[in-house]
């Protein structure tokens, strides 16, 4: 895949919706990036909305056709997008990590979120839309998101969202090409090396039960493997487990 064209919209409901529509009409090419200044219905994980002040941040969706990928390995797409984003943000600030499954953190604050929407036809992947929201120049956050931060708040610089978006597309493309080449181990190891709270004991919550654990790896299907104080390792799917602050 090479990153070919960027569709720039001054406003849209959600770049993921726009990208999905392009795919449905059969007019999308792999590597197309949809970028906007403002989303009036920006979507976050699990039905949440995504806050972004007009013109301040990166709001983009990347169109992929990962037909080569076994749908059982779809978490690898999350990993390659997280790693590309990690590369770009790490070039500007230290302390970057990926909070499983795919939030980008700087120290204990969230700087970016990823929303990947896959479409599988039978036993094969047909397409994927990788939506990325990266806080760049916004300095006031109004939603009840617990711990947002922007790159500008961390570095004091003002960023050009268009050039940051193309750097992200290029970085993700590099990781995606590794995935195409079957470099699963390399991708997983890199993702693990960037994992938030890696090797650190911290509190987690499952239902009403709180326990101390530390990340021990990522399971075959993208589950977070946590080791508890007794040495037992358990895999958790997204939303099955919460990080306690």
- Whole-angstrom distance, CA of residue 143 vs CA of residue 97: 23
In this complex, which beta carbon is closest to ligand BTN, that of residue 13 or of residue 181? 13
Q: Name every residue whose Cβ is closer than 8 Å to that of residue 154 and which is 6 or more positions away in sequence.
A: 92, 93, 106, 111
Q: Which residue is nearest to ligand BTN (CB)?
A: 113
Nearest distance, CB of residue 182 and ligand BTN, angstroms: 28
Structure tokens at 205: 């919550």
Residue with tokens 């984003």: 85
Nearest distance, CB of residue 100 and ligand BTN, angstroms: 12
For 13, 18, 131, the CA distances from 38, given in Å and listed in that order, are: 8, 13, 14
In this complex, which beta carbon is closest to ligand BTN, that of residue 107 or of residue 234? 107
Nearest distance, CB of residue 231 and ligand BTN, angstroms: 32
Residue with tokens 């790693």: 83
In this complex, which beta carbon is closest to ligand BTN, that of residue 66 or of residue 133? 133
The 3-state DSSP class for residue 35 equals strand
Nearest distance, CB of residue 145 and ligand BTN, angstroms: 9
What residue ranges bind ligand BTN (CB under 6 A)?
Answer: 14-16, 39, 42-45, 48, 50, 59-61, 103, 113-115, 131-133
């Amino acid at each position: 895949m090479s990153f070919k064209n960027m569709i720039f919209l001054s406003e849209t409901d959600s770049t993921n919706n726009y990208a999905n529509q392009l795919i449905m009409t059969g007019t999308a090419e792999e590597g197309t990036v949809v970028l906007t200044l403002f989303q009036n219905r920006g979507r976050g994980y699990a039905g949440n909305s995504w806050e972004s002040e007009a013109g301040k941040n990166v709001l983009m969706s990347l169109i992929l056709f990962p037909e080569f990928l076994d749908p059982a390995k779809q978490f690898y797409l999350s990993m390659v997008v997280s790693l590309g984003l990690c590369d770009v943000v790490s070039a500007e600030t230290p302390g970057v990590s990926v909070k499983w499954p795919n939030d980008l953190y700087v120290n204990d604050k969230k700087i970016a979120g990823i929303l990947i929407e896959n479409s599988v036809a039978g036993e094969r992947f047909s397409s994927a839309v990788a939506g990325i929201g990266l806080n760049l120049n916004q300095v006031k956050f109004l939603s009840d998101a617990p711990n947002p931060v922007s790159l500008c708040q961390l570095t004091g610089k003002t960023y050009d969202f268009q050039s940051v978006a193309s750097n992200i597309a290029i970085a993700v493309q590099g990781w995606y090409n590794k995935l195409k080449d079957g470099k699963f181990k390399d991708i997983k190891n890199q993702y693990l090396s960037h994992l938030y709270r890696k090797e650190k004991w911290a509190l987690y919550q499952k239902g009403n039960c709180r326990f101390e654990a530390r990340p021990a790896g990522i399971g075959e299907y993208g589950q977070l493997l946590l080791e508890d104080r007794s040495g037992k390792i358990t895999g958790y799917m997204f939303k099955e487990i919460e990080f306690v602050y």
